[in-house]
Amino acid sequence: MSKHVAVLMGGWSSEREVSLRSGTACARALEGRGYRVTPVDVGPDVATVLTALRPDLAFNALHGPAGEDGTIQGLLEILKIPYTHSGVLASALAMHKERAKTVMKAAGVSVPEGCVVNRRDAARAHPLTPPYVVKPIAEGSSVGVIIVREGRSHPPQELAREDWAFGEEVLVETYVPGRELTCAVMGDRALGVIEIKPASGEWYDYDAKYAAGGSIHVLPAEIKPNVYQRVQELSLTAHQALGCRGVSRADLRYDDTPGGTGALVVLEVNTQPGMTQTSLVPEIAAHAGLSFGELVQWMVEDATLGR
């Protein structure tokens, strides 16, 4: 008898639409592998829905707060429904960018210099000398990220807006020029490394991530073999230091600009990486010899409690 998999998607975060796309793709792949699949558009009644469904396990295709920060993971632990990806603590820790940086740095992973400040203070005066990056502490997919370029005289005024939706405190980090790299980790091994170049615009923002043709993916990344290996080592160390399980994705910057520092830093670890047609982890897995169906099946067979 095939396992009954509840694919959790949607939710109410700013990444809802991407989650629906990830969940739909995974549900179709699992059906193609012979699983009994029930898609669940997650709402406040998710506990009631899952109790009635009684699935053998949950495939977590949620992105952003509630789905990626330990909340849904804790609920699944209470309901005793095994689930994919990372557990409560690792999810909560990785989602909080500043705390995650503290843990990664202690494990020997290089991270950008930065500080946490009140958003209104950051709108009044530069918290760092430009160039720097302003990020919400607990959002994904580059939502709410602001790059303050060198020579900019005034701080970003959007931080003071009444409709700012990303919390009162923001993370401010020194901008690291150079290449945007990402590496997938699957279980206890790091897979390939992609370099990401936005097809238009200046950086890998939300549209570049998810719009068809929004970015150019160079796989394998055209970097020196020792740097490629170091990216894999840092990604796996970060995954393990945060206590991640299943599949994760580390995002890095590599300063190989003329006269640059040569710095290679981990920006963050995504415990719920996208699984859309334009997503990075499926592409990296395919390069490593795993089809989309095989990748999703591995994640399902890896599902447990107490993660």
Would you name the residues annotated as active-site residues? 15, 141, 210, 249, 251, 268, 270, 274
Structure tokens at 286: 């395919």
How many angstroms separate the CA atoms of 28 and 23, rounded? Answer: 9
How many angstroms separate the CA atoms of 287 and 132, rounded? Answer: 34
Residue 171 and residue 116 in contact, taking contact as beta carbons nearer than 8 Å = yes
Cis bond before residue 220 (omega within 30° of 0): yes
Exposure of 295 by Cβ count < 10 A (0-12 exposed, 13-18 middle, 19+ buried)? buried
Residue 269 and residue 197 in contact, taking contact as beta carbons nearer than 8 Å = no
How many angstroms separate the CA atoms of 221 and 182, rounded? Answer: 9
Residue with tokens 């009140």: 118
Phi, psi for 89 (deg, rounded to 5): -65, -50
